Amino acid sequence: MSRPPVNPAGSPSSPDEPRNGPDRSDGGRSDTVPAAAKVVALVAAVEATALLTAAGWYGYELLSGSPVLSFWGAVFTLGLLLAFSAWLYAVAVFLYRGYRWTRAAALVAQLFVLTVGVPALTSGLVLAGLAMVVPAVTVIVLLFSRTVIDHASRTGSAPPAL
């Protein structure tokens, strides 16, 4: 497989000549992060922090001797809370950096939040439901905005073939 053609407008004709235009080593992307991508990354990080807090509280209750039906089931639930929290932190960091895969991961996370938030809202827990539904809907709308799509277009860079 051959390398893609070089854009003659963006590269110098000789090493001694200056480049035309801004120096962009990532395929034409600017170094600024759009506000919509910052909001999505911030919401994912806040949700990850909330899950980590819930995991800490759950672990404390588990170690303090709270009665549970299945100890190993509770340990599994704690592991899921910790894993999902770590996953959301990774989504927040890599979305801020502009990686493409994070849009799908953030969308899946927000759909999970909606599956908990909408029943909470309809069962009478209005504040808890709104605290979950409003950020989730905001993130879903922002994930499909042009600025976030353009920002999150970076792929992993593979080493050159030759």
Q: Which pLDDT tens digits describe the chain residue by residue (162 residues)?
A: 555 565 555 545 444 444 444 444 444 455 688 999 999 999 999 999 999 999 999 999 888 887 778 888 888 999 999 999 999 999 999 999 999 899 999 999 999 999 999 999 999 899 999 999 999 999 999 999 999 999 988 776 666 677
Q: Identify the residue whose tokens are 């890599």.
A: 94
The reported pLDDT for the residue numbered 67 is 78
pLDDT of residue 71: 84
Picking from 95, 96, 100, 131, the residue whose alpha carbon sits closest to that of residue 116 is 131
User: In the prediction, which pLDDT does 17 show?
Assistant: 44
What per-residue confidence (pLDDT) applies to 4?
59
How much is the pLDDT for 111?
95
- pLDDT at position 22 is 41
